[in-house]
């Protein structure tokens, strides 16, 4: 990040204790609009804990969060959502029996005009039109809007889940998207699809934090990579300056921290 831009999301000195376990130790972290930052680290390094703090699911024991420069305190995930931060919950959050358009519109349904709308009837045609427009804007092609999610492949579902979070970001380009291992269960081609979608969303100005164990994915899609090791940030480096074996060294702990 250049000094003239404000980070979309910034953490300063964030600590997290779970009882006696110190999951995070004075973490500084930021992501700018249009930037994809990879968060790497071995099992138990603290990646999910950090995302949970960013998404309002957990409150940090110490430290400060800022959204577009404003100090914030999240007491619940809804606080983070209101601040324009979306965490992608994978399969969990899609309703299998419902079609793509209905899934994309859960929680922001368009009601039919007049008395039917007052009675809570959904305007499915208007929802399909809106979702088609949004997916076009994201450059996403999955399947027909009327197809139930249970008839989609894993990759298509993942794309729908990602797209849904992307469309919910407030004010288009100012949002922050948090992804915890979005490709963990995906094959090669599906991973490529998700990778392309992440890149397109970033190109539209969305700030993205990507937790992954997939090093080739991280180096392919991320502008910058931060590495956690046992709750400490040991590296934070532009991807183009990061050598693969250095990243592996920081992940495993065989390479000393950039910051000590
Ligand atoms: N709810 C919790 N209660 C107690 N300890 C926890 C809790 N959640 C995580 N921890 C501990 O905090 C540390 C960091 O866990 P975290 O889930 O953030 O790791 P991670 O980097 O996401 O690992 P993985 O790659 O395996 O998903 C671990 O030591 C873990 O045991
Ligand atoms: Mg995790």
**pLDDT tens over the chain, length 260 residues:** 444 478 999 999 999 999 999 999 999 999 999 999 999 999 999 999 999 999 999 999 999 999 999 999 999 999 998 999 988 865 557 888 899 999 888 888 999 999 888 888 999 999 999 989 888 877 777 788 899 988 888 778 888 888 888 777 745 567 999 998 887 777 787 788 788 889 988 988 899 999 999 999 999 999 999 999 999 999 999 999 999 999 999 999 999 999 98
Q: Is the dihedral of CA 106, 58, 84, 86 positive or negative?
A: negative
- List helix spans (H) across the chain: 47-54, 77-82, 100-104, 114-118, 124-138, 154-168, 188-203, 215-221, 244-252
DSSP conformational letter for 241:
G
Q: Report pLDDT for 173.
A: 65
Asked if residue 44 has its Cβ within 6 Å of ligand 1, the reply is: yes
Report how far ligand 1's centroid is from the alpha carbon of 77 (Å).
19
The domains of the chain, with CATH numbers, are 1-84+171-260 (3.40.50.300), 95-168 (no CATH)
Q: Report pLDDT for 139.
A: 75
| Closest ligand 1 atom to Cα of 46 | 18
**How far is Cα 10 from Cα 65, in angstroms, rounded to an integer?**
6
| Closest ligand 1 atom to Cα of 19 | 4
DSSP letters spanning 4-15: TSPPSEEEEEEE
Cβ atoms of residues 55 and 80 within 8 Å: yes
Q: Report pLDDT for 2.
A: 44
Q: Report pLDDT for 90.
A: 54
Report how far ligand 1's centroid is from the alpha carbon of 24 (Å).
10
CA 158, chain centre distance (Å): 12
Asked if residue 45 has its Cβ within 6 Å of ligand 1, the reply is: yes
Residue 170: helix, strand or coil by DSSP?
Answer: coil
CA distances from 148 to 94, 102, 103 (A): 10, 9, 9
CA 140, chain centre distance (Å): 17
**How far is Cα 35 from Cα 166, in angstroms, rounded to an integer?**
14
Asked if residue 238 has its Cβ within 6 Å of ligand 1, the reply is: no
Residue with tokens 């950090």: 50
| Closest ligand 1 atom to Cα of 42 | 25
- pTM of this structure: 0.88
């Amino acid at each position: 990040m250049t000094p003239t831009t404000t980070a979309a999301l910034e953490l300063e000195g964030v600590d997290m204790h779970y009882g006696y376990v110190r999951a995070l130790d004075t973490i500084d972290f930021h992501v700018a609009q249009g930037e994809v930052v990879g968060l790497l680290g071995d099992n138990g390094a603290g990646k999910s804990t950090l995302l949970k703090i960013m998404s309002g699911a957990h409150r940090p024991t110490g430290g400060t969060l800022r959204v577009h420069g404003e100090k914030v305190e999240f007491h619940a995930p809804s606080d983070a959502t209101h601040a324009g931060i979306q965490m992608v919950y994978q399969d969990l959050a899609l309703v299998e029996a419902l079609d793509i358009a209905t899934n994309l519109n859960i929680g922001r349904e368009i009601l039919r005009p007049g008395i039917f709308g007052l009675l809570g009837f959904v305007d499915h045609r208007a929802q399909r039109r809106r979702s088609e427009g949004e997916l076009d804007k994201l450059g996403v092609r999955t399947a027909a809007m009327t197809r139930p999610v249970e008839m989609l492949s894993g990759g298509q579902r993942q794309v729908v889940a990602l797209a849904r979070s992307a469309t919910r970001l407030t004010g288009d380009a100012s949002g922050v998207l948090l992804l915890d291992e979005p490709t963990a269960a995906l094959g090669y081609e599906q991973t490529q699809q998700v990778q392309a979608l992440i890149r397109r969303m970033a190109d539209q100005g969305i700030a993205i934090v990507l937790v992954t164990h997939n090093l080739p994915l991280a180096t392919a899609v991320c502008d910058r990579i931060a590495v956690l090791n046992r709750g400490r940030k040991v590296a934070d480096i532009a991807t183009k300056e990061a050598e693969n074996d250095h990243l592996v060294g920081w992940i495993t702990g065989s390479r000393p921290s950039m910051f000590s």
